[in-house]
Amino acid sequence: MRYQQTVNTGAFAKKDELINGSSCKIVSETKPQSSSFTNKDGSPKTQDVCKVKFEGGEAVNVSLNRTTIN
């Protein structure tokens, strides 16, 4: 399988740095962005990314799933 490198704007949230029970707020619109993975036919997969601001930190990118968006 071949992976295509993409350039992301901004840093993504790291799960090991998040604290259980902390508050956060979505601060930007969710937009589709190309993923580093590909579909079986070779076309690039997309992921829905938005900026989220966690308590005491700056806004970082987070990939949301369809259930969360709906």
Please report, in tens digits, the pLDDT of each residue of the chain (70 residues total).
565 545 556 788 888 888 888 899 999 999 998 888 898 998 888 999 999 999 888 899 999 988 888 8
The three state secondary structure string of the chain is: CCCCCCCCCCCECCHHHCCCCCCEEECCCCEEEEEEEECCCCCEEEEEEEEEEECCCCEEEEEECHHHHC
Residue 57 domain flag = yes
User: pLDDT digits over 33-53, tens only?
Assistant: 888 889 899 888 899 999 999
Residue 8 domain flag = yes
- Domain of 18 in residue numbering reads as 1-61
Residue 39 domain flag = yes
Residue 68 domain flag = no
Model-wide pTM > 0.85: no
